[in-house]
């Protein structure tokens, strides 16, 4: 029987993960099938266990179940525990379920490898304080930025993430407080508004000359945040498509022990979206 993998979430019909992993499999010669599983809030655990009982080897986990997956995992990696969220489940040889989080490494590879950005010594602003942001903080801190600022509509939620940024200068702000900030070299939009094409109100001058932005969401057209960045003179404007493929490649590597090439898959997905 061909090894089975899937993405689980709600909704999940729109997920491009099957497209991505099918191309990884073709590229690497790995024999696998990858599908979609839709779960409800009250049957996530049961849906995962039924998939594994049928021979499933691993799952990608998307909204809104990343914290549920963290609780379900028998063992967790350090980066999953740091984020308190799991987006990759791996059935181990002894039958236990391992949870990992590949979101942060996916974002980092897209920024530093695909777009040649240097984060060391830079001022970085992260917008939002939800689960998507939790997963990217450790890789950002490991790049040793000059300063890491988290801004959120509810400041207390941003403050709650500061312990995850130990080792660098960091602080939390409201969106209104950003008007008094010096310009940032990189601004990452991890707000849920990015998924709906909206964006928080940001002041002019927030982006440094030659600055870059990264939108964690993606689509066929530029988002409101990306259009704002262009108006602010950003030299590098990135959406979340590269991050999506890079985090998927890390999951594929964890499952199969083979690291696929991401550039052709990013290009194929970009063309498909267009």
List active site positions. Answer: 66
95 close to 107: Cβ distance less than 8 angstroms:
no
Distances in whole angstroms, Cα of residue 51 to Cα of each of 43, 89, 201: 12, 12, 43
Distances in whole angstroms, Cα of residue 205 to Cα of each of 127, 181, 231, 248: 16, 9, 10, 35
124 close to 184: Cβ distance less than 8 angstroms:
yes
Backbone angles phi, psi at 74, to 5 degrees: -75, -35
Strands (DSSP E) found in 80-165: 88-91, 97-100, 123-127, 147-151
Q: How far apart are CA 15 and CA 9, in angstroms?
A: 9
Task: Tell the residue number behind the tokens 């003179």, with chain if given.
Answer: 233
How many helices, marked H, and strands, marked E, lie in the chain? Answer: 10, 12
Strands (DSSP E) found in 162-206: 170-173, 184-189
Q: How far apart are CA 23 and CA 27, in angstroms?
A: 6
Burial class (CB in 10 A: 0-12, 13-18, 19+), 57: middle
Cis peptide preceding 46, ω within 30 of 0: no
Pairing of the two strands 123-127 and 207-215? unpaired
Would you state the structure tokens that stand for residue 16, as one six-digit string?
A: 């491009």
């Amino acid at each position: 029987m061909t090894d089975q993998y899937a993405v689980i979430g709600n909704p999940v019909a729109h997920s491009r993960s099957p497209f991505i992993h099918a191309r990884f499999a073709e590229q690497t010669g790995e024999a696998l099938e990858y599908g979609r599983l839709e779960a409800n809030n009250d049957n996530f655990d049961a849906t995962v266990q039924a998939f594994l009982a049928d021979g499933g080897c691993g799952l990608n986990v998307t909204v809104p179940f990343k914290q549920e997956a963290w609780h379900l995992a028998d063992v967790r990696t350090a980066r999953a525990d740091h984020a308190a969220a799991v987006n990759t489940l791996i059935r181990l040889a002894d039958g236990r379920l391992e949870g990992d989080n590949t979101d942060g490494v996916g974002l980092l590879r897209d920024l530093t490898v695909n777009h040649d950005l240097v984060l060391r010594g830079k001022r970085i602003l992260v917008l939002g304080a939800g689960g998507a942001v939790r997963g990217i903080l450790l890789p950002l801190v490991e790049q040793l930025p000059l300063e890491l600022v988290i801004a959120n509509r509810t400041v207390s939620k941003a403050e709650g993430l500061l312990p995850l940024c130990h080792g660098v200068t960091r602080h939390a702000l409201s969106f209104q407080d950003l008007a008094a900030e010096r310009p940032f070299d990189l601004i990452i939009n991890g707000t849920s508004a990015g998924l709906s094409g909206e964006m928080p109100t940001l002041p002019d001058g927030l982006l440094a000359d030659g600055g870059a932005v990264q939108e964690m969401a993606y689509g066929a057209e530029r988002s409101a945040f990306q259009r704002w960045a262009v108006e602010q003179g950003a030299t590098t404007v990135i959406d979340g498509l590269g991050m999506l493929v890079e985090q998927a490649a890390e999951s594929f590597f964890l499952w199969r022990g083979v690291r696929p090439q991401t550039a052709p898959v990013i290009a194929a997905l970009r063309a498909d979206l267009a």
